Amino acid sequence: MKTLTQSPTDPDFVQDPYPFYDAARATGKLGYWQDYKMVAAFGHDAVHMLLRDRRFGREIPAEMATEGPAHLAPFLQVEAHSLLDAEPPRHTRLRKLVLRAFTSREIKALAPGLETLCHDLIDAFPNDAPFDLLTAYCTQVPVIAICRLLGVPEDMAPKLLDWSHKMVAMYQASKTIETEHAAAKASEEFIAFLTDYVDERRKTPGDDLITRLIQAEEDGESLSTDELIGTCILLLNAGHEATVHSLGNGVKTMLEQGWSPEWLAPEGISGLVEEILRYDPPLHMFTRYAYEEVEMLGHTFQRGDLVALMLAAANRDPEALARADQFDPTRPPKVNKSFGGGLHFCVGAPLARLEMEIALPILFARCPELKLAEAPQYSNSYHFHGLTRLWVQQS
């Protein structure tokens, strides 16, 4: 296995990681990424296989678990009850309860309100000056959708965003001790807010996800309050961060390469959304632990070994997809690992797709002359991949 060296905070890599992925794929099915000190899978077939192999999982093996530093206790409390880092049987129970509350009917019911929201946001765009589409539109649609789904007041959106950004920064290669303290404080405040809000919803149920999760808990399905809070935080953090950058990266690509009205038509929009997610996804790496000794693709994993599944690299594997490095929304959506796979396939995928399928056609119908006002820059936030801002103008 070849040893690969690439700093995830190198400015050139941050702006365009795909040449490194191409070079890594060319060396073999697996490579040892020195900077992360773990084996990584860059090819589509290898990533697909690892996502579905039950000998690998997200939950740290019991003998490796530690309490973690005291200053991170609130953040680690949220992590400990997260669906994302659970494996069966705990994962099975949690996911079943979440899906019972997070139904396709409830998601589709958000559509009319999201359409109105998109038009209202566009009404507020300046006509004669550049502005940041990321903050004016791409951020607002997902975070308000999550607020509405949870039943949280929409005027809490800025605070929820602030907490979310500080917590999600813990997964970035550029994190510092200041990042850790900020994440712990945000976690503490987020837990306190949701604890009070859950108590309020117990007394006064509403037509929202928090109420449905409470009812699932009280119907004997044993969803604890900690699990309920962890689930709400995960839905907000994962649900809005990923969709913000899917929208931002997608609009950037469309404005840079030119776009066709056919892509945004009812019969083309799902293909456009899938190609945006494939071509430049918001999450590039997802890790798994080996749970036993496993021989795979010429390498022997030992129990406790971490392996990096390079989702964005898999999406552009030329062995899995012709012209994989080209953006083509008319192609059949056959290769897309952006939502993961297997037991941990993203529970919020239907909501993310709905938001994009609504927000993109309305944006380009209302702003057909939209163009970039400056070259977009990606933020130093790997293994996430999103823009610092998206400066545009309408004429």
- The CATH topology of domain 2-393 is Cytochrome p450 (1.10.630)
Q: 377: part of which helix (H) or strand (E)? A: strand 377-378
Domain extents in the chain:
2-393
Q: What pLDDT score does 101 carry?
A: 78
Q: What pLDDT score does 247 carry?
A: 97
Do the Cβ atoms of 34 and 3 come closer than 8 Å?
Answer: yes
Q: Rounded to whole angstroms, how far apart are CA atoms 395 and 392? A: 9
- Spans of the chain, pLDDT less than 50: none
Q: Rounded to whole angstroms, how far apart are CA atoms 96 and 207? A: 19
Q: What pLDDT score does 395 carry?
A: 77
Q: What pLDDT score does 68 carry?
A: 87
Could you tell me which of 238, 273, 268, 251 has the C-alpha nearest to residue 347? 238
Q: What pLDDT score does 353 carry?
A: 95
* pTM, rounded to two decimals: 0.94
What SS3 class is residue 131? strand
When computed from its CA atoms, the radius of gyration of the chain, rounded to whole angstroms, is: 21
Q: What pLDDT score does 168 carry?
A: 92
Burial 247-284 (b: 16+ CB within 10 A, else e): bbbbbbbbbeeebeeebbeeebbebbbbbbbbbbbbbb
Count CB neighbours of 167 within 10 A.
26
Burial 124-149 (b: 16+ CB within 10 A, else e): ebeeeeebbbbebbbbbbbbbbbbbb
